[in-house]
Amino acid sequence: MSIEEILAKLQEIADAGETRSLTDDEVQSYEELEGQLKAAQKTQELRARQSAYMAPNASVAAAVNVATVKQDDTLDRAFESYLRTGRANQDIQELRAQQVGTDSEGGYLVSPGFRQKLVEVQKAFGGLANEVDTFTTEKGGAIEYPTLDDTANSGSITAEEAAFADGADLTFGTVNLGAFKYTSSGAGTTTPLRVSVELLQDAEFDIQGLVARKLGERIMRKQASDWAIGTGTTLPFGICHAGLTHDHELATTTTITYADLLDLEAKLDPAYEQNAKWVFNKATWTAVRKLVDDNGRPLIFDQAASGAGQAPQKTLLGYPVVLDQSFPSPAGDSANFTVLGDLREAYVIRRVAPLTVVVNPYTRMNNGQVEYVAWERADGNIQNRKAYVVLATEDVA
């Protein structure tokens, strides 16, 4: 008999003795089965050892007992149940217990699996956020992020046995980073994410994937705007916000010329050229690609990428192009709309790890819908203004 069969027979005998004492025959049968169980377990152990001896790297396999890691998905399953029903069980209470402060009143921190899905959505959203320096903290208290610009200093030559001349000390600056609270419900007429009860009752429906994708897109759309043109105080400072002094302005109102692009590139410190990238929106990129010479030939050509079916690589004056629809189009007087530089050196984003989701099954109950809202805390700021240059429209005022 197999181990499972022996255990089943042992259980039968034990069940028979729940309301009475076992007979002598039953006790004897139980003890005989115990002997068979020990023999079967010993046989199984010997077979496993023999398989280890015959396997590649047998000496290592036989000497080390490697156990399969048990994956604990309790919180993921509990959180998915919460997303479907709006009701929290004991397991999901552990998620709330992690929260510090009152920012998640009425909601719950997300499970590790949901958080990973949201991170993937944020990366797929693209734009400036994928190119800059980003770090995550567990708590949302204000921090001072250190910065350093030492490009004005250089070494020197000293005579043999001469005393060293005093040099310049390293001067560190700081960038203040807080934690603004972003919500997926938005402002104005923007409503919470709504999902029908029929979909939620379908066990095959990936509720975590949908909620992560839609809530993530809403939050990222707002954050992308702030990383680009946020004006500070009640918003992050954007890398191209209106209060920045531009490095070059267009020669003719809002018309981009090839000379303007060259003049802006000339303003970038060579120390930051190696990792430099352009950032602007699709409308600006289209205007750049329309530039032609006196014979009507394009001045900008797409660089072919290797591999069949690959999209052309976007480059301009030898630098990669990053499209971000949150950047403004060239319009108005002295309006910043394009940057070029080492983006990772230029800008930093701080995110706070805990993300909160509120499931509301009541407000739209009569309509057969469940509402979802997410909160995430983050901030961004310029950490090295010399690492990039800004292009603006002409000041005709």
- Is 259 within 8 Å of 302 (Cβ atoms)? no
| Distance between CA atoms of residues 111 and 99, nearest Å | 13
CATH (residue range 74-150+173-392): 3.90.1690
Is the predicted pLDDT of residue 233 greater than 90, yes or no?
no
- Is 180 within 8 Å of 235 (Cβ atoms)? yes
Q: Which residue ranges make up each domain of the chain?
A: 3-63, 74-150+173-392
- Compute the average pLDDT of residues 201-227: 80
- Compute the average pLDDT of residues 15-38: 82
At 71, is the secondary structure helix, strand, or coil?
coil
- Count other Cβ atoms within 10 Å, centred on residue 213: 17
Is the predicted pLDDT of residue 351 greater than 50, yes or no?
yes
pLDDT, tens digit (0-9, with 9 covering 90-100), for 142-182? 888 677 666 667 777 777 777 766 666 666 677 889 999 99
* 0.85 surpassed by pTM: no
- Is 347 within 8 Å of 380 (Cβ atoms)? yes
| Distance between CA atoms of residues 144 and 392, nearest Å | 30
**CA distances (Å), 169 to each of 149, 154, 166, 317, 385, in order?**
12, 11, 9, 36, 20
pLDDT of 306 reads 52
Burial class (CB in 10 A: 0-12, 13-18, 19+), 126: middle
| Distance between CA atoms of residues 206 and 87, nearest Å | 18
- Compute the average pLDDT of residues 100-124: 54
Q: What distance lies between CA 99 and its chain's CA centroid?
A: 20
Length of the chain: 397
Query: Which of 64-73, 156-165, 171-180, 247-256 has the lowest average pLDDT?
Result: 64-73
